[in-house]
Amino acid sequence: MRQKLRAAFLHKFGTQPILVRAPGRINLIGDHTDYHQGLVLPAAINAYMYVGIQKNTCYQNRLYAADLKAYLELDLQSLTAMEKLPSWARYIVGMLDWMKQQEPDFPTIDLLISSTLPIGGGLSSSAALCNALGLAFMALIDKKPDPKDIIFAAQKTEHVFAGVQCGIMDQYASMFGKSQQALLLDCRTIQHQWVPCQLENYQFVLFDTGVKHNLAESAYNMRQQECSIGLKMIQKSIPGIDALSAVSIREFLPFKNHCDPLIFDRCMFVLEENDRVLKSYACLQTGDAISFGNLMYASHAGLSKKYGVSCSELDFLVALTEDYAPVLGARMMGGGFGGNTLNLIHKSEKDTVIQACKEAYKQQFSRPLETYEVSLVDGASTDPFNFQ
Ligand code: GLA
């Protein structure tokens, strides 16, 4: 990959680049909790966003998305119509904007991006891109990066330039992932601890529905609004509560009697999911794959029925696995309304299960099911690193 990127950069821009890569992520459990200052348990995976960068002297930012064979020149000063830019370029504008605020003399750049991460599949390709850009910019001006500054800039880019009011999980996991470990992140304190993720003879496999529903972004923001109605109600009775995750299940239960059932379910899901994250963390510590698998199924049920962020393809795939003993757990993952399910499958029987699921999915939805066996890797880094 390194040679390929170097050659492509040289061919396009005539110079040697600094290379950076940032991985995508899976989330073992804890979805739609990060923006409620709750708990998440993600891990970085062996699929990456790559960035090559070098200064130029032509006073134009020259951008090349190698996989799309798309090239454009960007003059930040005269940039008016952001909507006209392709989405990959908007992330670059967002991160450049941040960099310019830190370093007004930041030079104009040649930039190449390429990816082994499926784009838009719920594996956080945009967070990986922003992290890689942040590290690349800092490397270019030879400054030691503060990884947390980069992840907050990446999150802000998502808010401002992509219109998604996301939490911090994706950026964090892509930056701080560690080989063979998951990380328990407390989104209130923004502190994490790693936990080994070796579940004996079981491994994680992603099933990609191939679906990306258009309503994903608006529904994502809508869930936040629904929960903020619940939060305001709680705040009237319990002073000092500044986020949903600061309430316990026991404190929240009595609200059932005077609360819209939909709002109650949305909020209760968040509190229950936080609880499942803690239990899952304990399961990983003791290597209890069976209990962890059950928590995955419970998480999916909550996301689908209480939080309302699943879709028929995701529900079908999760239900399907319940018929197979070698599968201990399955759940939708990330924002929802499509993307991947995460499955915990016995290594020796995974091929049989995968094959059967592919056939059933094809029969039901007349579309192929792509599957990926993932391993857990280190977070974002600047070259030299262990390029495959
Ligand atoms: C998306 C967001 C994350 C998180 C997940 C759901 O991936 O970017 O911040 O909210 O959805 O857990």
> In this predicted model, what pLDDT tens digit does every residue of 124-148 receive, in sequence order?
999 999 999 999 999 999 999 999 9
Q: How far is 105 from 61, CA to CA, in rounded Å?
A: 14
193 beta partners: 184
Question: Strands (DSSP E) along the chain, which ranges?
Answer: 18-27, 39-40, 42-55, 61-65, 70-74, 109-115, 181-186, 191-196, 202-212, 327-332, 338-346, 370-373, 381-382
Residue entry with tokens 């504008």? 93
Using DSSP, state whether 42 is helix, strand or coil. strand
Per-residue pLDDT tens digits for 162-190: 888 999 999 999 999 999 999 999 999 99
Decide if 195 contacts 29 (C-beta within 8 A): no
* For range 260-280, the mean pLDDT: 98
Of 281, 288, 364, the residue nearest 319 (C-alpha):
364
Indicate if the pLDDT at residue 80 is higher than 90: no
Q: Which carries the bigger pLDDT value, residue 383 or residue 324? A: 324
Angle at 345 between CA 344 and CA 351, to 5 degrees: 140
Query: Higher confidence at residue 216 or residue 308?
Result: 308
Give residue 2's pLDDT band: very low, low, confident or very high (50, 70, 90).
confident
Residue 211 C-alpha to ligand 1 middle, in angstroms?
A: 17
Q: What mean pLDDT do residues 194-199 have?
A: 92
CA quadruple 337, 358, 208, 289: dihedral, nearest 10: 100
Contact criterion met (CB below 8 Å) for 342 and 41: no
Evaluate if pTM is beyond 0.85.
yes
Please indicate whether residue 273, judged by its CB atom, sits closer than 6 Å to ligand 1: no
Q: What is the largest CA-CA distance in the chain?
A: 68
CB distance 167 to 34 below 8 Å = yes
223 lines ligand 1 (CB under 6 A): no
- pLDDT for 162 equals 84
Q: How confident is the model at residue 79 (pLDDT cuts 50, 70, 90)?
A: low
CA of 353 from ligand 1 middle (Å) equals 28
Supply angle C-alpha 281, 287, 290, rounded to 5. Answer: 90
Is residue 53 scored above 80 in pLDDT?
yes
Per the structure block, which two tokens stand in for 65? 């998305």
Catalytic residue status for 146: no
* Cα 348 to ligand 1 centroid, rounded to whole Å: 32
**122 CA from centroid of ligand 1 (Å):** 9
| Residue 61, pLDDT score | 95
Q: What is the pLDDT of residue 283?
A: 97
Ligand 1 atom nearest residue 27's Cα: 12
41 neighbors 27 (Cβ within 8 angstroms): yes
Number of helices (H), then strands (E), belonging to the chain: the values are 11, 13
Helices 289-301/261-286 angle, 10° precision: 170
* Any ligand 1 atom below 6 A from CB of 34: yes
Catalytic residue among 31, 34, 110, 170: 170
Q: Is the pLDDT of residue 388 over 50?
A: no
